Amino acid sequence: MAPQLMPLSSTIFLLIAAFLVHHVTAYTPLSDATLKNLPSPGTDFDIHTGALLAPILIPRVPGTEGSTKVLNHFVDFFQTHLPKWTIAFQNSTSKTPATGSRDVPFVNLILTRDPPWAQPGNVGRLALVAHYDSKVEPEGFIGATDSAAPCAMIMHAARSVDEALTKKWDKMAKDGVDENRGHEQGLQILLLDGEEAFVDWTATDSLYGARSLAEAMHAEPHPALSVYRTPLHSISLFMLLDLLGAPTPAVPSFWKTTHWAYKHMATLESRLRSPAIAVAKSTPPHPFLVDADKKNGPWLGPMMQDDHVPFLKRGVEILHLIPNPFPKVWHKSTDDGEHLDPASVEDWAMITTAFVAEWMDLEGFFPVAKKIGRAVEDGGRKTELIGDYVVFTVAQFTSPSTNRSGSTGRRSLGLLTHLPPIPVTLNDTNSEKLHIYIHLDARPSALNEQIAERPCEPQLLPTMRTPPLWLTLAHVLLHANAQQLPYNPTSIFLAPNNEQAYILLPSSSSAPAGELLALNISSRIDASNLSPTILSKSLPFLVGSDDGVAFVPAMTPSGDIGVYAGSCASNSSVWTYSAEGAESGKWTETAVSDSAAELRNTNFLAAGLYFSTKIDGDAANTPMFVLGGMCPTTSNTNTSTWQASANYTNSLLKLTPPKFTGATAPYALSLGAADGQKLVPEAGHTITSLAPTLANASSSAGAEYVLIGGHTAGAFIGMDRVGILALPEGTWTFQSVSAHALPGGGELALIRASGNGMPDS
């Protein structure tokens, strides 16, 4: 944008107009718990790979290919992630001083989310506004603060409050809504084209999109007897974001009539920076919003020209969020992604999100992360932080086996995702680990059909009632050892009879070669008085080894535990622990065929499973599949770069055992899927079986496995999509899930690796 001093007559008119309209709006402050757990953008604002910001950081002069690409980015985002929003375009053309007689097209994007019962004309709306165009000059100008970053901030805010809006309005509908009462509140986003001047800022060479849209909204009448006469009158507050994203901004309060809203936002900034919440990332010498205590003028709003002016002239209330003075990069080629301050960008996104949530009265409708349990490390050792690294392990809930004829004996009730210990250094001698659980709800129907028809809904687990759920609580108390890099996570397996659980612990200070434990879960467990049985005081594949051994465990159909173990640079083998039968309590090692030496490395943080096409086949002959994983570079001993410098794979390996039970031949190693390239090479994901689907009762079976989460070298995979692997076909499909019902903020933020989510396509 460009500031201009306005003539005195226009200033007086605008001051009068600003006082003519007053909208009554409820405003409910958020609790500390809600504010602390609002979704964080994570790497969505990464200037190279961020799903929200990176696609906007290109030249986007009106009427050019870059402008169209950015507009399509906005539309794709809302169609994919926020389908309940209505999308509309307002088009216009205009001649410019730079194009002479040639008309330039301008496209404004209007995105609206209203209560589902609301009548046209009876909805007041908070409007979040930014322009998405960039200047013609200097050539190649990006305009990161002006206003790519503000657009991304608004997108994040919309996504963050969307599910809470749904929950609020669903509750209102359930409680009974008077559809004729009017004065409903909705949310609107205006992404405007043509804010910048093509040559010099004048009344006609600027604000092309805003002028056209304000006129069109003012000219469109609502039905007779509506609360609001036109769509323009429906705007309760026009909140304009511009020139945000540089370090240490100072944003004044420009308008006396909206100073109350400014003060609410300033209060939110202060709370986000407070020790009790401590969500803010930047540490400026003064608050972003510097006029919180302002009581009298001067009010500089009339002196500033921006996209709000055509709306202000028609009586709309304005909250203008623009720094004064402008950023040093203003209208320079250095206003690019490299000169953004990431902490400031994220803080503005969080402040905006919180303000929208309070304006829309969303307190009580956000999921709040709850610490269900914790384990404090023994021995006074300082826990080393493992980068920003999070691993998922998933257990499948099951009800007690029915074991009826023709039944699989296991009824799937859903998936439990556990974010394993996140080490948090408290001081030089003490550490603790926080444990978070997410329940991926699945109705007890045909799960493969259910996932296709209705997205899974991530929920925090408030209670744990079935034995497998108590098991995960048991894990919190059982495993209190710090994980060191390279990293092998704890694994929990449920026996086929649902009466026994196995816990495979990696190396720790108390058990350098790991342990295998068993826990009786046939009845309710007292989490304060656990008595696990030690089945194996050490894991043979870790005995005498250093930290270079990776292992991928999985449970066989018969209830044994198979482990693919080795290292990235040497031979691997399959170890099997026999839980029952003559070999009960023993580990057996079987080599892996040398014929596929290029595949034979074992990766850290891969996922394993057993699958057979034969319904009644010999469990000992069931192949093992290993998906993905990461291999640290052999020369890298720096744990701070271990994740970023590792090699990652998306291969699905198939380990086929010898054809005959007791045979000494090695496992045959091959690729198990033809289209694994649809996956981003990743590690730290989980893959969990859904209920099997039977082709016929006598010969063959198929199954589907849900892949969740994971990370790449530079980012975590967003949990707004899951991958579904179908075996024996080896094919992938991808389904959306309800995003952002997740623990939000800080180190627990789950972020996308690319604009396309999990599939790299």
- Active site residues per annotation: 195, 242
> Cα–chain-centroid distance for residue 753?
10
Nearest to 237 by CA among 257, 263, 251: 257
Q: Is 13 left (phi over 0), alpha (psi -120 to 50) or beta?
A: alpha
**What are the φ and ψ backbone dihedral angles of 479, each rounded to 5 degrees?**
-110, 105
Round to whole Å and give the CA distance between 633 and 486. Answer: 11
Q: CA–CA separation, 734 vs 456, rounded Å?
A: 12
Contacts of 741 (CB under 8 A, 6+ apart): 163, 367, 457, 458, 459
Reduced to 3 states, what is the DSSP secondary structure of residue 92? Answer: strand
Cα separation of 285 and 287, whole Å? 7
What is the Cβ-side half-sphere exposure of residue 24, based on CA atoms within 13 angstroms? Answer: 4
For the chain, the distance separating the N- and C-terminal CA atoms, rounded to the nearest angstrom, is: 36
Q: Contact 723/688 with Cβ under 8 angstroms?
A: no
Category of 361 on φ-ψ map: left (φ > 0), alpha (ψ -120 to 50) or beta: left
Question: Is the distance from CB of 70 to CB of 55 less than 8 angstroms?
Answer: yes
| Tokens linked to 672 | 């198990």
Angle formed at CA 753 by CA 84 and CA 489, multiple of 5 degrees: 115
Closest CA to 514 of 464, 569, 476, 553: 553
**Would you tell me how many other CB atoms lie within 10 Å of the CB of residue 729?**
12
The residue count of the chain comes to 761
Instruction: Render 150-203 in DSSP notation, one character per residue.
Output: HHHHHHHHHHHHHHHHHHHHHHHHHH---TT---EEEEEEEEES--S-SSS--S
- Which residues have CB under 8 Å from 704's CB, separation 6+? 447, 448, 689, 690, 693, 724, 725, 726, 727
Determine which helix (DSSP H) or strand (DSSP E) holds 85, and give its type and residue range.
Answer: none
Q: Which long-range contacts (CB under 8 A, 24 or more apart) does 273-279 make?
A: 276/32, 277/32, 277/35, 277/36, 278/36, 279/35, 279/36, 279/38, 279/40, 279/350, 279/745, 279/746
CA distance 135 to 332: 10
Q: Which residue has the tokens 């809006």?
A: 165
Q: Would residue 746 be called left, alpha or beta, if left means φ above 0 and alpha means ψ between -120 and 50 degrees? A: left
Collapsing DSSP to helix, strand or coil, 752 comes out as: coil
- For residues 716 and 387, give the distance between their C-alpha atoms in angstroms, rounded to a whole number: 12
* Integer angstrom CA distances of residue 408 from 400, 556, 641: 12, 15, 45
Do the Cβ atoms of 40 and 277 come closer than 8 Å? no
**Contact indicator for 606, 552 with CB cutoff of 8 Å:** yes
The answer to whether 366 and 34 have CB atoms below 8 angstroms apart is yes
**Sign of the C-alpha dihedral computed for residues 505, 508, 513 and 517 taken in this order:** negative
H runs (alpha helix) in 245-297: 259-273
At which residue do the structure tokens 């400026």 appear?
A: 284
Q: Is 736 exposed, middle or buried (0-12, 13-18, 19+ CB in 10 A)?
A: middle
